[in-house]
Structure formats: structure tokens, C-alpha cells
Structure 1
Amino acid sequence: MSQIKIVIAGPRGNMGKEAVKMVEKVTDFELLAVVDSRNNGKMVRDLEGLPPLEVPVYEQMEECLQKHQPDVLIDLTNPKFGRKHMEAAFKFGVSPVVGTTGFTDQDLLELDAIAKSQKIGAIIAPNFAIGAILMMKFAQTAAKYMPDVEIIERHHDRKLDAPSGTAIKTAQLISEVREKKNQGHPEEREELAGARGADYEGMKIHSVRQPGLVAHQEVVFGSVGQTLTIRHDSINRESFMPGIELAVRAVKNIESLVYGLEHLMD
């Protein structure tokens, strides 16, 4: 079995720490290096909360990719660096697997064009939890029959974006099978601005940010005399690792940008 050679960006974050542990455990994965915003020249063993690995730390993505020539870059940083890291990966023929949200539609179009022109696979996933992907798929099915829907997403209070990428992706999938529909009383008014949440083609999206949470979402459907709630909870960040492993294995078999893990699941 040939080894899949990997570089991880963002190893000190909560997701990054779990990804380092996952790559170390999977027998045909090999961690070559990590890219961090500081700690250049150190080893992974020197970083708090990480396994005692003799794996080098770099601050500059291009330097790292040039020296180690991995097959896959796992990027778990933030929107500020996500696109730059993807462009660097394309430059060196490396397939990026990205867990950063906040990309614009224009970003996705431009990154997809680069991937196709170079025939390099890339995956951006708003959520790597397999259960969350199933939640989105089930919600899309339900929306065909119950078009009145609201989304409530709850995340830890360190999350930068609202609504979450998962909530937006859920709304986009639902919109593929649901006609635009204004919900609630036609003359309703907000006594406090934002009380009804964000609006996506008539669907309302509500964001909660609290310490103690990880990642949680429920999609609530209403109809005459009944409601249906589809809910997913990530109790810890280890829940995202099977999805990252799936993406790493799949990315070398595609030649374009795939946005959303659901496209890799039958």
C-alpha cells in the first residue's frame, strides 16, 4: 500500500490537533511537515497538545511545499490564509483539502478554474462530519414535501463567521428543491432588528454562539398539524476526522474543485 504524503496547515488549532493525531494513526498516511503562523524551525513535538513527532514546522507555505512535495495539503486555518494556501498548493501540484469556510462564490469559481486548468483535485468542505452531511441530505429530501423551514445552528463562541458554512450549504441544498417562499405572517415586524434571523430565499437562519458548544444544527420543518426536526451534534472535534480521511483519499481521483463533502458520498 503506497503512502499518502501530507502537510497540515493550522496544527495548533482544535481541528488541527485532531488532524495531526488522525494522520499519525492512519497506516497509509504520512505526515511530512506542518505549517504554522509561528514556531518556524521547531518540531511538532515542541508544540503544546500535539504528539511527540519529529516533524518540522514551517511558517511559509511555499517553502514547506517545495521542500517536501506532499500529495495532499490539509488546511484547517481561516479564510485569511485558506485561499493563499490553496493557490500555493496548486503551484506545486499538491491537492488541497480545506476545512476553512468564508470563501465567496467568486473565490470558488476562480479556484475551480485553476484546479481544472492544472487537472488538480481540490476539496473545500464546510463540515467534515459524516452525520452533518447526512443531515443536509435528509433535509433536502424533506424540503420537497415540507417547504416551510428554518435553520438553527449553534457553535462555540470562538467561531468567526455567522451563519456557519454548514447552515448556508444546507439552505443552498434545500433551495435546489424548494421554490422561494416567504414564511411567517405577511405583515410581521421585528421589534428588535434581526429577531427573525438571516434570510435565504425566505428561509430563516439563526446563529447561536456560546462557550461549551462545538458544532450543532437543527433544521425545523413545519406543516399543517405537524413538525419535523432533523438535528446533528458534533460532541467533539474527533467527529470531523473520518470526513477528512475520506476527502484525503478522494481528492487525488478528481481534477476540479469539489465544494461540499456530500458530493463524495453516494
Structure 2
Amino acid sequence: MTIRVVMAGATGWVGKALVPAIGAQGDMALVGAVSRSGAGQDSGLLVGMPANGITVSASLAEALEVPSDVLVDYTKPHVVKDHALLAIEKGRHVVIGTSGLGATDFGEIDAAARANRVGVIAAGNFSITATLMKRFALMAAKYVPDVEVIDYASAKKPDAPSGTARELAEALADVRKASTVRPVSEVSGVPGTRGAAVGTGEGVQVHALRLPSYILSCEALFGLPDERLTIRHDAGSSAAPYVAGTLLAIRRVQEITGLVRGLDALMD
């Protein structure tokens, strides 16, 4: 059966790579695209490909008027939650690649998805190697209690931390043992320079850097007496690494009910 896909954020960095990729899959069809800046234009032409006959909509509500199965969202932090809830209300499954959502947001999305009996897959990073970084870091956290996360991104990235770092820190906080470092509450000087705790319990300290020339990088730093371990992922300049993972999520999201977070949940 062909999976009918609506792409929100069709003219964005990842969207431009996904529009032709979805169209090239034998088991998928692009039936809708959303981009305020490209509204009314052919989505293929907008991403530098031959015309595909799919006219870009100015809003998700307009795009969802056409029958579809899955919404893929790579838009902005301030609109992704409303997009997900609208799609769920309309009975669509959802794949979320947009960062900026917190635990409360995901809780609402999960509840709505379960009530409407649809699936949602959200990942801070759909790259296979970024997913492996998370998996290896979680393995290390079972043996090394002290870990902090450094998040690198461009100067213009609107959210901090990135979805990659946030998802990683939340997962680490769930499995790590009690930290041995001085609590931030006992730090003198400017405690804010110790970063922000992300995740349950004492959380994991995350430090977000936003500087020109950086794209996306994330590293987990572990420390024991007289030894250190760094597990790091660096993204390149194109969106190609995120395509395969997103396509996997599109194929798998209809098999679930409720919210699944992280591409690692699908890899096995």
C-alpha cells in the first residue's frame, strides 16, 4: 500500500532533501507540501527538481484537506506542536523532526495520539550516526555516573538546547547513577555557567554554544578519576544524513499507537 505523505517545511533545509526523496520511494507518494514562502508554487520546482504536480499550501490545515496518511514536520519550534495536534485530530500519523518541544509538549502529543489511535515518532536527530552516538552514550552511562553534554549549533538556531542534545540528556538522566560532582546549588560565582539541568531527577547538565561557522554537533563527556571519555557526533553541511532515518520513521509510524521518541527505538 502506498503511504501518502504531507511534508511541512518543504522548503527548509531538510524539507528540500525530503521532497525528492519521498517521491523517489516506490511505497510512498508526496500528496501535500506546506511552506508559507512557497505557497502556490510547484513543490518540485521549489526544491530544484522537475515539477511534481504538488502545489505548496500556505497552511497545514489547507494541506490536510487532501487525503493523506502521514505528516512529516520539519518546521519551527513555535508551530510544530500545533501542527502535530491538528494532524492527530485529523487522524494522521506524525513524524516530527523539528526540535524545541519539551516533556510537557510530548505528553500532550502522546495523549492526543492515543486518544485518536494514531502513531507519532519524534526524534531530536534522524541521522543514523547521531542515533548511534546516543546509544553508545547510554551504554557508557551505566558504568560512569558523571556526564555532561555540550551542544553546538549555528548562531541563528532559535532553540537551545538542540533536539539532539535535549533528547540525549533526558535519556542519560533516566539511566545514570548518582553524580559525584559538586551540586550546582553549591557553586559560587556565576552558577549559570554550569549549564542547565535537563531530564528527570538531578538531570544532566547541558551547555549550549551558538556561534557562527558551527552547524550541528553534540558530545557527551564522561569522567572518572584519572580518565575521560568523549562520545561526539558532528553533522555535515547537507541534510542528506537525516533522509534515511525519516523515511524509516514514515514506514514504521503507522505500526504504533501513541508517541515514540528517538530513532533508536526503531533501529532494531
How high is the TM-score relative to the length of structure 2?
0.90
CA contact (8 A) 2:11 2:38 kept: no
Shift, 1:9, TM fit: 0.6
CA contact (8 A) 1:216 1:234 kept: yes
Distance in 1, matches of 2:44 and 2:228, equals 51
SS in 2 for 1:243: helix
- Residue aligning to 2:249: 247
Shift, 1:210, TM fit: 2.4
Cα separation, partners in 2 of 1:45 and 1:166, compared to 1, 3 Å: closer
Q: Quote the RMSD (CA, aligned, Å).
A: 2.0
CA contact (8 A) 2:9 2:75 kept: yes
Which consecutive unaligned segments of at least 5 residues does structure 1 have? none
- Residue aligning to 1:130: 128
The one of 113, 116, 122 aligned to 1:115: 113
- Residue aligning to 1:258: 260
- Residue aligning to 2:13: 14
1:25 equivalent to 2:27? Answer no
CA contact (8 A) 2:145 2:178 kept: no
CA contact (8 A) 1:69 1:94 kept: no
- Residue aligning to 1:208: 209
Shift, 1:46, TM fit: 4.5
Distance in 2, matches of 1:230 and 1:146, equals 13
Aligned residues: 262
Shift, 1:171, TM fit: 1.6
Moved over 4 A (4+): 184-188
The AA in structure 1 aligned to 2:175 is: V
Percentage identity across paired residues of the two chains: 37
Distance in 1, matches of 2:76 and 2:180, equals 33
SS in 1 for 2:255: coil
For residues 38-80 of structure 1, the C-alpha deviation after alignment (integer angstroms, 9 at most, x for no partner) is: 3332212442x432222111112122212x2111111100122
Distance in 2, matches of 1:173 and 1:55, equals 39
CA contact (8 A) 1:69 1:92 kept: no
SS in 1 for 2:99: coil
Distance in 1, matches of 2:169 and 2:44, equals 41
The AA in structure 2 aligned to 1:261 is: L
Distance in 1, matches of 2:161 and 2:146, equals 19
Distance in 2, matches of 1:106 and 1:177, equals 20
1:226 equivalent to 2:227? Answer yes
The AA in structure 1 aligned to 2:233 is: H
